[in-house]
Chain A
Amino acid sequence: MLYREAGQFRSTYAEDQQIFPIRQDRIAMAALLVVAFVAVPLFGDQYWLSAILTPFLILALAALGLNILTGYAGQLSLGTAAFMGIGAFMAYNAMLRVPHMPILGGFIVGGLSAAAVGIVFGLPSLRIKGFYLAVATLACQFFVLWALNRVGWFSNYSSSGVISAQQIQLFGYPIVTPEAKYLLTLGVVVVMALAAKNLMRSETGRAFMAVRDMDVAASVIGIPMMKTKLLAFAISSFYCGVAGALYAYTYLGTVEPEAFTLDLSFRVLFMIIIGGVGSILGSFLGAAFITLFPIFLNLASKWLEHALGIEMSHAVVSNTEAMIFGALIILFLIVEPNGLARLWQITKEKLRLWPFPH
Chain B
Amino acid sequence: MTFFLEVVIGGLLAGVMYALVALGFVLIYKASGVFNFAQGAMVFFAALTFVSLMERGWNIWLALAVTLAAMVLLGILTERIVLRPLINQPPITLFMATIGLTFVLEGLSQLLWGSQPHGLELGIPDVPIEWLSEKWNMNISQFDLFAAFVAGVLVAVLALLFQKTRIGRALRAVADDHQAALAVGIPLQHIWAIVWATAGFVALVAGVMWGVRNGVQYALTFVALKALPVLILGGFESIAGAIIGGLIIGASEKVAEVYLGPYVGGGIESWFAYVVALLFLLVRPEGLFGEKHIDRV
Determine if A266 is an interface residue (Cβ-Cβ < 8 Å): yes
A-B contact count (CB 8 A): 138
Q: Which of B265, B277, B282, B286 has a CB less than 8 Å from the CB of A135?
A: B277
Q: Are B111 and A330 in contact (CB under 8 A)?
A: no
Q: Are B286 and A315 in contact (CB under 8 A)?
A: no
Q: Are B282 and A131 in contact (CB under 8 A)?
A: no
CB contact under 8 A between A217 and B297, given known A136-B232, A269-B96: yes
User: What DSSP secondary structure best describes chain B's contact surface?
Assistant: helix
Q: Which of B97, B236, B274, B296 has a CB less than 8 Å from the CB of A142?
A: B274
Contacts of A130 in B (CB 8 A): 91
In the bound assembly, the distance between CA atoms of A327 and B231 in angstroms comes to: 27
Q: Are A330 and B97 in contact (CB under 8 A)?
A: yes
Q: Name which of A171-179, A186-194, A318-326 contacts chain B.
A: A318-326
B85 to chain A, nearest CB (A): 4
Q: Are B275 and A143 in contact (CB under 8 A)?
A: yes
Closest chain A residue to B290 by CB distance? A132
Q: Which of B99, B236, B297 has a CB less than 8 Å from the CB of A329?
A: B99
In the bound assembly, the distance between CA atoms of A324 and B218 in angstroms comes to: 19
Determine if A169 is an interface residue (Cβ-Cβ < 8 Å): no
Q: Are A127 and B281 in contact (CB under 8 A)?
A: yes
In the bound assembly, the distance between CA atoms of A214 and B293 in angstroms comes to: 14
A116-138 with Cβ < 8 A to chain B:
124, 127-132, 134-136, 138
Contacts of B100 in A (CB 8 A): 325-330, 333
Q: Are B281 and A132 in contact (CB under 8 A)?
A: yes
User: What DSSP secondary structure best describes chain A's contact surface?
Assistant: helix
Q: Are A323 and B286 in contact (CB under 8 A)?
A: no
Query: Interface readout for B108-151 with A: 1 if CB under 8 Å, 0 if not?
Result: 10110011000000000000000000000000000000000000
CB contact under 8 A between A146 and B271, given known A131-B35, A319-B110: yes
Determine if A165 is an interface residue (Cβ-Cβ < 8 Å): no
Other A-B pairs, 16, CB within 8 Å; known A131-B35, A215-B295: A128-B281, A135-B277, A136-B232, A136-B278, A142-B270, A150-B267, A262-B225, A273-B93, A315-B110, A315-B115, A323-B111, A327-B100, A328-B100, A329-B99, A329-B100, A330-B104
Q: Which residues of A contact B (CB under 8 A)?
A: 76, 124, 127-132, 134-136, 138-139, 142-143, 145-146, 149-150, 214-217, 220, 262, 266, 269-270, 273, 277, 315-316, 319-323, 325-330, 333-334, 337
